[in-house]
Amino acid sequence: MKQFPKDFLWGVATASYQIEGAAQEGGRSPSIWDDFARTPGKVFEGHTGDVACDHYHRYPEDVHLMKELGVQAYRFSISWSRLFPEKGVFNQAGLEFYKRLIRELKARGIQPAATIYHWDLPSWAQAEGGWANRDTVLHFVDYATTLFRELGRDVGVWITHNEPWCAAFLGYGEGVHAPGHQDWREALISSHHLLLSHGLAVQAYRDMGLTGEIGITLNFTPTDAASDAPADVIAASRWDGYANRWFLDPLFKGHYPVDMIEWFGEQFGPLACIQPGDLETIAVPIDFLGVNFYSRNISKAGADNALLGISFDEARGPVTDMGWEVHPESLYRLLKRLEQEYTGRLPLYITENGAAYPDQITGDAVHDPERVRYLHEHLEACQQFVAEGGNLKGYYVWSFLDNFEWAFGYSKRFGIVYVDYETQRRIPKDSALWFARTIADNGVQPTRATSDAPSS
């Protein structure tokens, strides 16, 4: 079996609103996701994160389970409105929860990796326009600076933002995420402010002389053109400009992609929010790039997508419970491309990769062969990249627990650990046991458990 490098980091990932619950405890105030979930018709069957996995109370048990699986690093996110329930008002009790969590992790030898923003903007900030308002950038930097000061000695890995593409375009453009706006101009402005707040937070971190690593996590949806026809190839390039290059280019090249500036400019006029100096700030050097990968899509000529003037083809292979195509080769190609066009020798981490399937308990076990297979294939893609010299330093499964899957509520299960939402009982799925063996061996394990192997 091919081994990963000795220092390869094996982790699991979650996010605050998706697992914590305790929405009204410890002085927390609502975020845009509390508000969105309470807006009729926005989230599947009106589900909310009020209780979720009750991780706020059960974190010792959860960290214990991580330890049992041999997990080496835990990527979690911090709820901004626990720390700042009102504008300019700091809440010590909110901070204490994360101190307890981090202490528990350290006691068990698990490295904390903290995401500063995983989509749960305090409602007070949205009341002033949210990410479409440049003031939110400054509020974010105050919040990040507080975290660095209070937790910077104990947390060695910081991720400024999780998937600003989703926060901006799904939240302010498509409206399928909080705050549920449908205004593409606002979405573009928000994307710029999210990036700007990243750059300023990195600068603040450096100014404080802290010696951990700081970076950003982007979600990538690679695309393939439906055919070689020029119109399909152009469609694919436009999707890539929107989903991938819109964030990569400013972060690594110091400018927005020219084709997309033109395309959006024709529709919305010039983006006056881009002020002198902003792009230099956004391109400030980082210590790693976090890569979230789930799927690819297939672009073609058409107009189903009005913003981009393109259409999409059906998946050409198996899909997960989200309808997303399982396509591990796209992960390998993505990593190669990032290295060649953007990151060079900069360390990469897979900060999320995983799949939803409708897992059922049978007795005391949860068999999830499709997830095992998905993780297996994607880790093999990682292994190939690493074997060819790629600077991939670690891999975090999404997700540790089944949890609140945003607009889909609890109807989609991404966990390697099953959560019974009636009892809050946790049951490691077969994929968790398989992942534990993979960590122990530091190499991708076969998909079939030895215990399941035919005995004859």
Which stretches of the chain bind ligand GBH, using CB under 6 A? 15, 162-163, 166, 219, 221, 292, 294-295, 297, 324, 352, 398, 405, 414
β-sheet bridge partners, residue 50:
none
294 is in an annotated binding site: yes
Q: Of the two residues 4 and 400, which places its CB atom closer to ligand GBH in the complex?
A: 400
From 35, 287, 260, 42, select the one nearest 158 (Cα to Cα): 287
| Cβ distance to ligand GBH smaller for residue 133 or 292 | 292
Burial 1-30 (b: 16+ CB within 10 A, else e): eeebeeebbbbbbbbbbbbbbbbeebbbbb
- Within 13 Å of residue 400, how many CA atoms lie on the same side as its CB? 33
Task: Considering the candidates 325, 339, 352, 370, report the single residue annotated as catalytic.
Answer: 352
Nearer to ligand GBH, 129 or 409 (CB): 409
Query: How far is the C-alpha of 96 from the C-alpha of 92, rounded, in Å?
Result: 6
Residue of this chain nearest to ligand GBH (CB atom): 297
Tell whether omega for the bond before 81 is within 30 degrees of 0, i.e. cis: no
- Any known ligand binding at 118? yes
Q: Which residues pair with 74 in a beta bridge?
A: 12, 112
Q: Could you tell me which of 422, 421, 349, 351 has the C-alpha nearest to residue 392?
A: 349
Nearer to ligand GBH, 337 or 448 (CB): 337
Q: Which is nearer to ligand GBH, 279 or 334 (CB)?
A: 334
Q: How far is the CB of 412 from ligand GBH (least distance, A)?
A: 8
Count H helices and E strands in the chain, helices first.
16, 15
| CB closer to ligand GBH out of 15 and 444 | 15
Active site residue 104: no
Please compute, for residue 101, the number of CA atoms within 13 A of its CA located in the half-sphere on the CB side: 27
Nearer to ligand GBH, 29 or 297 (CB): 297
Closest contact distance (angstroms) between CB of 70 and ligand GBH is: 23
The least CB distance from residue 203 to ligand GBH, in Å, is 25
| Least CB distance to ligand GBH at residue 118 (A) | 6
Active-site choice (104, 163, 186, 339): 163
**Residue 352 catalytic?**
yes
Find the shortest distance in angstroms from Cβ 294 to ligand GBH: 4
Name the minimum Å distance from CB 453 to ligand GBH: 32
Establish whether 18 is an annotated binding residue.
Answer: yes
421 labelled ligand-binding: no
DSSP 41: T
Q: Which residue has the tokens 């707040």?
A: 197
Return d(Cα 270, Cα 276) in angstroms, integer.
14
Residue 162 in marked binding region: yes
Which amino acid would we find at residue 40? P
Burial of 45 (0-12, 13-18, 19+ CB in 10 A): exposed
Q: At closest approach, how far in Å is the CB of 427 from ligand GBH?
A: 20
The stretches of 243-327 forming alpha helices (DSSP H) are 246-253, 258-268, 278-282
Does 33 carry a binding-site annotation? no
Residue 446 CA to residue 376 CA, distance in Å, equals 8
Answer whether 418's CB lies under 8 Å from 33's CB.
no
**Residue set of the binding site:** 18, 118, 162, 294, 398, 405-406
**Residue set of the binding site for substrate:** 18, 118, 162, 294, 398, 405-406
Active site amino acids: 163, 352
